[in-house]
Amino acid sequence: MAKNKVEKKDFKPKKSGSYSAESITVLEGLEPVRRRPGMYIGTTGPDGLHHLVTEIFDNSRDEAMGGFANRVEIAFLPDNYIRVTDNGRGIPVDIHKQTKVSALETIMTTLHAGGKFGGDGYKVSGGLHGVGASVVNALSIFMRVEVYKDGGIYVQEYSKGKRKAAVKKIGNSKEHGTIITFKPDIEIFKNIDLDFNRVVHHMRQQAYLVKGLKISVLDLREVKTKIKETEIIYLKDLKIEAPSMTFKFDGGLTSLIKFYNHNQKPIHKNIFYVEKMTNESSGESVEVALQYVNDITARIMPFANNIYQSEGGTHITGFKTALTRTLNNYAKKNNITKNGEDAFTGDDVLEGLTVVVSVKLREIQFEGQTKAKLGSVEARGMVESVFGEAFDIFLEENPEDAKAIINKVVLALRARKAAKAAKDSILRKGALEGMTLPGKLADCQSKSAEESELFIVEGDSAGGTAKTGRDRKTQAILPLRGKILNIERARLDRMLASEQIKNLVVALGTAIGDTFDIEKLRYHKVIIATDADVDGAHIRTLILTLLYRYFRPLIDGGYIYIAQPPLYKIKKGKEIFYAYSDDEKAKIIGRPSADIEDFENIPDADVEIEEESENNAVQTKTTSAAGRKISVQRYKGLGEMNAEELWETTMDPSRRILKQINVIEASEADDIFDVLMGSDVPSRKSFIQSNAKLATLDI
């Protein structure tokens, strides 16, 4: 048999071309941050923008954690400036031996420079990388730092991470602390409008985590009062009339548990709490507070050095291990359960649990600069030991509370067993992936999740219109018939018995529960499109609550959106405009010409109005003073639009308006849903009475 002949060819590399030492780019100073901001703040979207405020606040918060400050203020100033003030020690301003310039300038203009790498600066801190302040400086078009220290006032200004001048002393003062004022660079973020409520939400959380720390947040964007630059002062003390929130909690994590459970019904009286220093010299400690409520979901809030980890980490692993072991031991010891199949699982003991786990570590490791997951190995053992021992004592010393907790977990165990067959029929490994896509789903042609969109549409009528008007290549349509199941107190097996929820789960492709896998998500934009009325808002809230409770990673990943359909279709002669609010409608009607780009100082048109009904929609016919006929159609639902209108206003990527849902908005929807749909009647009655005047009824 002849052997195969292999032809041997010499490898001939391509010519080197222009690849030489001159091809190597060396980025100096903070230029790497401006070139690749995502490496340092995760994203240049809203999350990254708000992360700037967090980074500067963290430095002030670390001063408070060390016992050097007790007050921090965050002020929103006109023209998108942010001002953060604390009464800590003040950033050092003396000359740094290594850099030969002021320590202040070194910290603000050099990566990995700070007092958090060892020495006596901080025992524990959140800003372990030493890049926070300098990164914010690099991504700001303007930054000014005022330091009050050792009887003097020192100032330095920067732009895009570079100093404008050397640090200079501008006066004397008995005060101590730091004021940092900055403005995010529009070239980096595109949109630099910060969300006041989002910052308030974060600062409230931080106030619970640092006992006795007073945190104020002020919205002064509409205030024209000038602030003196040579005097450390809290703007809150100026008594300026503006939106503001101030937080100070001496109860720490116990107060935080009460806040999270304010709309829930606790099943035991005493909140468990433990705080223990594990290393006096380094300041390392473990703090845990928990309470079970009459609910089926778990609320777990993990913190490391007061930074929230949305993805958990080693401290949560240690907590879950100790919780499961301690409750199993207690139940066995009291002859409530036996070994084997009667043992509690991790899911059993987490049902209805609200817990905050906070660790403080000297040498801490996060996974990534955004610090979403704790990686420090020693945290697991610390939490497992401290919490396990203290929780065991709590159960022994509080038999009534222990009985209530064990009964709650036993109920979860029995429900799990009773539901196992139903769950297995749908959730067994690979089952959802193998199921046929629901018949009501009009899928898109593309198999690329990155370019595919799923519209969850209210009603068959709107669904039919959307199917006709969509881009078939990238847009899929799933109509929902009426309101989906209230999942607030429904277990997973009952949820999946609902045809509409099962259709949604199958369409998403991720599965649900134990088999959830975000990598199998079939669409990277999931868009909720409901009518602009009370029923539409209710359906939207139901869907958001479902996603928040069972598909939280989709919200964390930025995959969930709300469509913003127009409220009005306006015809002015032969021209057609769409208005998304009553104000926009008024401006379009009042404009004498077709050019509506500038709505300022437009006089209202002199019109006569006549209303009539057409296709269940309100038609308003008007005539302007100039004799032009104007008609205004009020859309009562998506189904009243034809396919072309729905595409132009709601589905066309080049013209539509989408609102991306974040965790705060989803949790607020969940909280409201707890009140309106839960079992706490007094809370629901109070909410309705307090907010009735704010309701807009479209009757």
- Largest interatomic CA distance in the chain: 100
Are the CB atoms for 51 and 129 separated by under 8 Å? no
Catalytic residue among 58, 62, 453, 531: 531
In this prediction, residues 137-142 reach a mean pLDDT of 94
Are the CB atoms for 629 and 623 separated by under 8 Å? yes
pLDDT of res. 606: 39
Secondary structure string (H, E, C) spanning 285-310: EEEEEEEEECCCCCEEEEEECCEECC
For 282, the token pair is 């380094």
Residue type, 338: K
Look at residue 155 and tell me whether its pLDDT is greater than 90: yes
**Beta-carbon contacts of residue 58 (< 8 Å; ≥ 6 apart):** 125, 126, 127, 132, 306, 307
Q: What b-and-e string marks burial along 295-331, b requiring 16 or more CB atoms within 10 Å of the CB?
A: bbbebebbbbbbbbbeebbbbbebbbbbbbbbbbebb
pLDDT range class, residue 394, cuts 50, 70, 90: very high
**How many Å apart are CA 474 and CA 450, to the nearest integer?**
10
**How many Å apart are CA 151 and CA 344, to the nearest integer?**
61
CB atoms within 10 A of CB 147: 26
Count CA atoms within 13 Å of residue 495 on its CB side.
23
CB atoms within 10 A of CB 628: 15
Parallel/antiparallel/unpaired status of strands 214-219 and 71-77: parallel
**How many Å apart are CA 635 and CA 641, to the nearest integer?**
8
pLDDT of res. 669: 61
Catalytic residue among 157, 347, 471, 533: 533
533 is catalytic: yes
Identify which of 129, 122, 70, 64 has the alpha carbon closest to the alpha carbon of residue 92. 122
**How many Å apart are CA 184 and CA 55, to the nearest integer?**
13
β strands within 44-176, DSSP E: 71-77, 81-86, 140-149, 152-159, 162-163, 168-172
Distances (CA, A) of 326 to 60, 345, 384: 38, 12, 10
Write down all domains in the chain, each with its CATH number in brackets: 31-247 (3.30.565.10), 253-427 (3.30.230.10), 431-564+660-681 (3.40.50.670), 568-634 (no CATH)
Predicted TM-score of the model (pTM): 0.64
**How many Å apart are CA 130 and CA 33, to the nearest integer?**
14
Catalytic residue among 55, 86, 453, 458: 458
531 is catalytic: yes
595 is catalytic: no
In this prediction, residues 295-306 reach a mean pLDDT of 89
pLDDT range class, residue 396, cuts 50, 70, 90: very high
pLDDT range class, residue 697, cuts 50, 70, 90: very low
Structure confidence by residue, pLDDT tens digits, 600-620: 333 333 333 333 444 444 455
Catalytic residue among 342, 347, 471, 535: 535
**How many Å apart are CA 681 and CA 675, to the nearest integer?**
8
In this prediction, residues 566-581 reach a mean pLDDT of 85
Structure confidence by residue, pLDDT tens digits, 63-96: 998 889 999 999 999 999 999 999 999 999 988 8
Identify which of 456, 502, 483 has the alpha carbon closest to the alpha carbon of residue 650. 456
Structure confidence by residue, pLDDT tens digits, 509-525: 988 877 788 999 999 99
458 is catalytic: yes
